[in-house]
Structure 1
Amino acid sequence: MSLPSVLTLIADRKAGPLKPEAIDVARSLVKGKAPIVLSDGEAVDIPCPTPGPGSASAATIRATLAPYQTDALLLKTRGRRKAVLVADMDSTIVTGETLDEMAALLGIGEQVAAITRASMNGEIDFETSIEQRVALLAGHPASVLEEVWKTVTLTEGARELVCTMRKHNARTALVSGGFTWFTQKVAELCGFDENYGNSLEIVDGKITGRLDAPVLGPDAKLSHLESLTAERGVQLKAALTTGDGANDIPMLANAGLGLAFHAKPNVKKIIGTQINFANLRAHLFAQGYKAADFVAD
Structure 2
Amino acid sequence: MPHILTLVAAPGALDPALVSRVRGALEALGAAPGTPDWLAEREAVDIPFADAAAEQAAAAARAALADAPVDAIAMPAEGRRKRLLVADMDSTIVTSETLDEIAAYAGLKERIAEITRRSMNGELDFRQALVERVGMLAGLDVSALEATWAQTAMMPGAAELVGTMRANGATCCLASGGFTFFTGRVAEKLGFHHHVSNVLLIEDGRLTGKVAEPVFDRNAKLTTLKRLATENSLPLAATLAVGDGANDLDMIQAAGLGVAYRAKPVVAAAARARVDHTDLLALLYMQGYRRADFVTA
Q: Give the structure-2-normalised TM-score.
A: 0.95
Quick one: which amino acid aligns to residue 18 of structure 1? Answer: L
CA pair 56-25 structure 1, distance change in 2 beyond 3 A: farther
| Equivalence for 1:237 | 237
- Deviation at 1:59? 2.6
CA contact (8 A) 1:8 1:285 kept: yes
Give the Cα separation in 1 of the matches to 2:189 and 2:51: 40
Quick one: which amino acid aligns to residue 46 of structure 1? Answer: I
| Residue range with higher mean Cα deviation, 236-245 or 62-71 | 62-71
* Counterpart secondary structure, 1:284: helix
State the Cα RMSD in Å: 1.4
* Counterpart secondary structure, 1:75: strand
- Deviation at 1:61? 2.1
Question: For residues 104-161 of structure 1, what are the alpha-carbon distances to aligned partners after superposition, in whole Å with 9 as ceiling and x for unaligned?
Answer: 1220112211110110111111000100010001011011000001110001110100
Select which of 9, 12, 16 maps to 2:10: 12
CA contact (8 A) 2:25 2:60 kept: no
| Equivalence for 2:22 | 26
- Deviation at 1:52? 5.8
| Equivalence for 1:35 | 36
Give the Cα separation in 1 of the matches to 2:7 and 2:109: 38
Give the Cα separation in 1 of the matches to 2:77 and 2:90: 30
CA pair 203-80 structure 1, distance change in 2 beyond 3 A: same
**Equivalent residue runs for 1:13-92 within 5 Å:** 13=11, 17-31=13-27, 32-51=33-52, 56-92=56-92
| Equivalence for 2:227 | 227
Question: For residues 259-296 of structure 1, what are the alpha-carbon distances to aligned partners after superposition, in whole Å with 9 as ceiling and x for unaligned?
Answer: 00000011111113100001000000010010111000
- Deviation at 1:213? 2.4
- Structure 1: gaps spanning 5 or more residues: none
Give the Cα separation in 1 of the matches to 2:3 and 2:103: 46
Give the Cα separation in 2 of the matches to 1:211 and 1:111: 19
- Structure 2: gaps spanning 5 or more residues: 28-32
* Counterpart secondary structure, 1:164: helix
Identity %: 46
- Deviation at 1:25? 1.2
Give the Cα separation in 1 of the matches to 2:60 and 2:82: 26
| Equivalence for 1:110 | 110
CA pair 63-151 structure 1, distance change in 2 beyond 3 A: farther
* Counterpart secondary structure, 1:6: strand
| Equivalence for 2:30 | none
Give the Cα separation in 1 of the matches to 2:277 and 2:139: 40
* Counterpart secondary structure, 1:67: coil
* Counterpart secondary structure, 1:169: coil
Give the Cα separation in 2 of the matches to 1:90 and 1:50: 38
Quick one: which amino acid aligns to residue 44 of structure 2? Answer: A
CA contact (8 A) 1:19 1:68 kept: no
Give the Cα separation in 2 of the matches to 1:17 and 1:199: 42
CA contact (8 A) 2:100 2:113 kept: yes
- Deviation at 1:57? 4.4
* Counterpart secondary structure, 2:67: helix
| Equivalence for 1:287 | 287
Quick one: which amino acid aligns to residue 45 of structure 2? Answer: V
